[in-house]
Amino acid sequence: MQKFRSVVLLLLFCFGLTNGEVFVTADGAAGMVSGSSFLLESDGVSCIIDAGMFMENEQIEKRNFRIAPKFLNANALVLTHAHTDHIGRVPLLAASGFNGKIYATAATKALALEFFSNGTGADLIKRKWFWYDDNANKKIAHWKDFCLKDEKPQTVLNPINFIDFQKSRKGRWEICKICILSQTAEIEKLFVELEYGQVVELAENFSFKLLDAGHIPGSASVLFNVEETRILFSGDLGSGFLKLQSKSLAAPKSDFVFIETTNGNVESVDENEFSAFRKDILNALNNSKIVWISALSFHRTQSLLYELKLMQDEGILNSNIPIYSLSPSANRITNLFEQEIVGQKRDWFAKEVYEKETLIPKNFKMQMPIFKGPMIIISSSGDMDMGMSKNLFLKLSPRKDVFMMVVNYVSPTSRAGILLANKEKFNIKKYNIFSGHPVLKEIFRWLENQDKKNTKLYLIHGELENMFSARQVFARAGFANVKILKIDERIQLR
Ligand SMILES: [Zn+2]
Ligand SMILES: [Zn+2]
């Protein structure tokens, strides 16, 4: 039956008698924020939008180990930007046999390859691991033949993903960096770099282009034109007041818009928080305190460094006060951003940033300090539960001479979340101005060219509760067709 159907479709296709149906399937970021991945199909042509990692609860995270067969056979993958919740399953997709092209901007490609080289997504893939017994305190698991030595290795009999492999063994394990680099080189071959606005034709009546989304370097919305129907995926959008990125333009009029609603419960943000942020830092430093800012290593840390640099340039922050950045991964990204600003100038950032010629403030240090104020310390992992922030937490909290600043979303059950819930007892404060996502006011600006009666909105990439409240707000604003997309749902657009 299946075969018969394919033959009929093929014949229809050859004679140009295709039926022009268009479908979208949600594999992630539907009813939740993470795991972003959608499939757009029409007449045997299909394109994946993002292959992100799930970062929710254990039950949902089981989806990280599989790719739906339909997605595997897609003709192309387009990446909106290089955050893990949008690219984390790309290595799994490639290792599972996906053989299409990966379309992305130059910045998204460079950043994604940086993360893949550092192992993002490598632990999700089932492999026949092998290893050699030595006395190192970390054992190295390989899978690539060129890491074989003369002696016989130990090996697992059945392919297993690294997370389960590690669980089933004693000791500390690490995936071989050389194996990971060779895998990254294979993924790199699939990439095709795109400029914003450049049209890609996947087939007759199936094309797309990228639009600057203003979220992080290289971030894009994707506008498809399939059978004369305009289908727009927002990707993650910028908040509209990120100083590193330029503001996105309002999106062109479309028939369908899949829109992110990460901050779908927030109407607006007080931009005066920038001055509160500055005042609080200066106040703490004047009292010889240690200002400890825990921030995500990618983009958030660099936005902070840039804000501190601006404060120095304006002469309000004393350039002799040391600024420590302690996370190695954050420092790698800072270097990558800095190289881009100093050297190549390929429009990763807002043009004002290039005019400054550096994003790094004066007296910037990367080594571990002696903890004595006044000083500023930036560590990664915003919630203080992982990495450097976890270690610092034990040293710095609670201390009277330490002022803690939180600059990203933190889970209420994390260390930072618990401190914030008791902020009268602890010296801690949260700021929303560094958020990389738009609040409703900004989303409405982005949607201003849409036809409220006819454009159909699908809410994605948000917590379910936030989407319920966003849906009401959209309806009140006059949007006649607003739906919340469900996970695994396949909807017909045409
Ligand atoms: Zn993002
Ligand atoms: Zn996202």
How much distance in Å is there from the Cα of 374 to the middle of ligand 1? 33
**Amino acid identity for residue 288 in this structure:** S
How much distance in Å is there from the Cα of 194 to the middle of ligand 2? 20
How much distance in Å is there from the Cα of 215 to the middle of ligand 1? 7
**Residue 440 maps to a domain:** no
The ligand that comes nearest to the alpha carbon of residue 85 is: 2
How much distance in Å is there from the Cα of 84 to the middle of ligand 1? 8
- Structure tokens, 232: 């727009």
pLDDT of residue 18: 62
Looking at the structure, tell me whether residues 31 and 107 fall in a common domain: yes
Is 91:116 a contact under the CB 8 Å cutoff?
A: yes
Looking at the structure, tell me whether residues 292 and 356 fall in a common domain: yes
How much distance in Å is there from the Cα of 320 to the middle of ligand 1? 34
Torsion angle of the four alpha carbons 398, 308, 383, 28, in this order, in degrees rounded to the nearest 10: 170
**Residue 1 maps to a domain:** no
How much distance in Å is there from the Cα of 398 to the middle of ligand 1? 32
How much distance in Å is there from the Cα of 86 to the middle of ligand 2? 6
* Longest CA–CA separation in the chain, Å: 78
The ligand that comes nearest to the alpha carbon of residue 238 is: 1
Question: Is the per-residue pLDDT at 10 higher than 60?
Answer: no
CA-CA distance, 40 to 38, in Å (whole number)?
A: 7
pLDDT of residue 134: 80
The ligand that comes nearest to the alpha carbon of residue 32 is: 2
Is 222:352 a contact under the CB 8 Å cutoff?
A: no
Span between the terminal Cα atoms of the chain, in Å? 24
Looking at the structure, tell me whether residues 246 and 280 fall in a common domain: no
**Residue 10 maps to a domain:** no
The ligand that comes nearest to the alpha carbon of residue 460 is: 2
Among 183, 214, 232, identify where a domain stops. 183
Range of the domain at 463: 19-117+191-266+451-492
- Structure tokens, 137: 């305190």
Among 401, 430, 459, identify where a domain stops. 430
How much distance in Å is there from the Cα of 246 to the middle of ligand 1? 15
CA neighbours closer than 13 Å in the CB half-sphere of residue 247: 9
How much distance in Å is there from the Cα of 236 to the middle of ligand 2? 5
Tell me the pLDDT tens digit for each residue of 441-478: 999 999 999 999 999 999 999 999 999 999 999 999 99
How much distance in Å is there from the Cα of 80 to the middle of ligand 2? 9
pLDDT of residue 158: 95
How much distance in Å is there from the Cα of 339 to the middle of ligand 1? 22
Is 472:446 a contact under the CB 8 Å cutoff?
A: no
Strands 402-406 and 229-233: unpaired
How much distance in Å is there from the Cα of 109 to the middle of ligand 2? 16
**Residue 9 maps to a domain:** no
Looking at the structure, tell me whether residues 104 and 170 fall in a common domain: no
**Residue 303 maps to a domain:** yes
pLDDT of residue 3: 58
**Amino acid identity for residue 299 in this structure:** H
- pLDDT confidence tier of residue 415, bands split at 50, 70 and 90: confident
The ligand that comes nearest to the alpha carbon of residue 408 is: 1
40: nearest Cα among 211, 206, 171: 206
Looking at the structure, tell me whether residues 135 and 177 fall in a common domain: yes
How much distance in Å is there from the Cα of 236 to the middle of ligand 1? 5
Torsion angle of the four alpha carbons 379, 413, 437, 454, in this order, in degrees rounded to the nearest 10: 160
When computed from its CA atoms, the radius of gyration of the chain, rounded to whole angstroms, is 24
**Residue 56 maps to a domain:** yes
**Residue 7 maps to a domain:** no
Q: ∠ at Cα 57 (86, 35), nearest 5°?
A: 15
The CATH number given to whatever domain includes residue 357 is 3.40.50.10890
Looking at the structure, tell me whether residues 335 and 468 fall in a common domain: no
The ligand that comes nearest to the alpha carbon of residue 298 is: 1
How much distance in Å is there from the Cα of 167 to the middle of ligand 2? 29
More confident residue, 410 or 125: 125
Question: Is the per-residue pLDDT at 411 higher than 90?
Answer: no
- pLDDT confidence tier of residue 346, bands split at 50, 70 and 90: confident
The CATH number given to whatever domain includes residue 89 is 3.60.15.10
Among 143, 167, 183, identify where a domain stops. 183
Residues 427-446 have a mean pLDDT of 93
The ligand that comes nearest to the alpha carbon of residue 50 is: 2
Question: Is the per-residue pLDDT at 13 higher than 80?
Answer: no
pLDDT of residue 311: 98
CA-CA distance, 122 to 162, in Å (whole number)?
A: 8
Range in 188-202, 287-301, 333-347 with the lowest mean pLDDT = 333-347
Looking at the structure, tell me whether residues 219 and 258 fall in a common domain: yes
pLDDT of residue 17: 52
Question: Is the per-residue pLDDT at 2 higher than 80?
Answer: no
Looking at the structure, tell me whether residues 299 and 425 fall in a common domain: yes
Residues 227-240 have a mean pLDDT of 96
How much distance in Å is there from the Cα of 227 to the middle of ligand 2? 28
Give the chain's domain count. Answer: 3
How much distance in Å is there from the Cα of 56 to the middle of ligand 2? 13
Tell me the pLDDT tens digit for each residue of 289-315: 999 998 999 999 999 999 999 999 999
Looking at the structure, tell me whether residues 213 and 100 fall in a common domain: yes
Looking at the structure, tell me whether residues 404 and 367 fall in a common domain: yes
Tell me the pLDDT tens digit for each residue of 21-74: 999 999 999 999 999 999 999 999 999 999 999 998 889 999 999 999 999 999
Is 138:172 a contact under the CB 8 Å cutoff?
A: yes
Give, to the nearest 10 degrees, the angle between helix 328-339 and helix 106-117.
150
Looking at the structure, tell me whether residues 210 and 339 fall in a common domain: no
Residues 89-110 have a mean pLDDT of 97
The ligand that comes nearest to the alpha carbon of residue 436 is: 1
Residues 71-92 have a mean pLDDT of 97
Ranked by mean pLDDT, which of 337-346, 407-416, 445-454 comes out on top? 445-454
Is 56:84 a contact under the CB 8 Å cutoff?
A: no
> Dihedral sign, CA of 206, 70, 113, 231?
positive
- Structure tokens, 491: 């909807």
Looking at the structure, tell me whether residues 249 and 371 fall in a common domain: no
**Residue 446 maps to a domain:** no
Name the DSSP letter for residue 263: B
CA-CA distance, 199 to 237, in Å (whole number)?
A: 21
The ligand that comes nearest to the alpha carbon of residue 82 is: 1
The ligand that comes nearest to the alpha carbon of residue 213 is: 1
- pLDDT confidence tier of residue 270, bands split at 50, 70 and 90: confident
CA-CA distance, 49 to 108, in Å (whole number)?
A: 14
- pLDDT confidence tier of residue 219, bands split at 50, 70 and 90: very high
